[in-house]
């Protein structure tokens, strides 16, 4: 199971977390976020994919961040349409110096209409399911994972939303269930923070060790 650590902000902390060898590190390019990233991403191991997180950003803004930071993945966390995702896909193919993957985020609480995914199929590489809350992300609590029993797609997805060490006991049984077949990665953020954007290295190391054991 792959691990994505999102909401990175501080240079030294990024380097320390990178030493844990997560599969993805997420950087939030949304000015209203307390984890808004304004710095330079340090050189990371090639095994770690750099994810840029955007909320209803313009195509030009996203493309500029792809080039500036050599992002590997774009995570769309707003109300982006299938048409916008398709436009991003083709613009990126025309202008970027390397392939970029697209994650489209959907928020869930107790129910979800999976038919909304259909227009995004074959455009986005991954879906990400997060907890519906006041903020676009980082709300700090989980949604009802039983909803995923009705997942109709074969598109791999990221499981997100308030996942921390306390959730290990429910993650492991979940990963044995059929609804986890297309679960590509576990995405963590606020539950592993000392303060917004500053991650607890020891807690993340423990989480990773448990998850991959």
pLDDT in tens, the chain (213 residues): 999 999 999 999 999 999 999 999 999 999 999 999 999 999 999 999 999 999 999 999 999 999 999 999 999 999 999 999 999 998 866 555 678 999 999 999 889 999 999 999 999 999 999 997 665 555 567 999 999 999 999 999 999 999 999 999 999 999 999 999 999 999 999 999 999 999 999 999 999 999 887
Residue-level pLDDT at 110: 85
Residue-level pLDDT at 18: 98
Q: Using CB atoms within 10 A of its CB, is residue 88 exposed (0-12), middle (13-18) or buried (19+)?
A: buried
Dist CA 161 CA 111 (whole Å): 15
CB atoms within 10 A of CB 152: 9
Dist CA 80 CA 93 (whole Å): 19
Integer-rounded Cα radius of gyration of the chain: 16
Identify the residue whose tokens are 């609480």: 109
The CATH code of the domain that includes 129 is: 3.20.20.70
- What is the total count of domains within the chain? 1
Q: Is the dihedral of CA 58, 105, 125, 99 positive or negative?
A: positive
DSSP labels, 25-92: EEEE--TTSTTB--S-PPP--TTSEEEEEESS--HHHHHHHHHHHT-SEEEE-S---HHHHHHHHHHH
Total-model pTM: 0.94
Task: Domain of residue 170: give its range.
Answer: 2-212
pLDDT digits (tens, 9 = 90+) for 113-136: 999 999 999 999 999 999 976 655
């Amino acid at each position: 199971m792959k691990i994505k650590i999102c909401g990175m902000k501080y240079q030294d902390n990024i380097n320390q977390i990178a030493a844990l060898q997560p599969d993805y590190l997420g950087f939030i390019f949304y000015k209203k976020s307390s984890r808004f990233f304004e710095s330079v991403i340090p050189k990371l191991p090639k095994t770690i994919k750099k994810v840029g997180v955007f909320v209803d950003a313009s195509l030009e803004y996203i493309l500029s961040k792809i080039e500036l930071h050599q992002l590997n993945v774009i995570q769309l966390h707003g109300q982006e349409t299938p048409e916008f995702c398709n436009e991003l896909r083709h613009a990126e193919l025309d202008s970027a110096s390397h392939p970029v993957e697209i994650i489209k985020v959907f928020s869930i609480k107790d129910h979800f209409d999976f038919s909304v995914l259909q227009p995004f199929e074959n455009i986005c590489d991954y879906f990400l399911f997060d907890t519906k809350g006041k903020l676009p992300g980082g709300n700090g609590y989980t949604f009802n994972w039983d909803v995923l029993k009705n997942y109709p797609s074969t598109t791999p997805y990221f499981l997100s939303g308030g996942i921390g060490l306390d959730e290990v006991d429910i993650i492991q049984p979940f990963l044995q269930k059929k609804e986890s077949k297309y679960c590509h990665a576990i995405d963590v953020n606020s539950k592993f923070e000392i303060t917004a954007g500053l991650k607890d290295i020891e807690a993340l190391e423990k989480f990773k060790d448990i998850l991959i054991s």
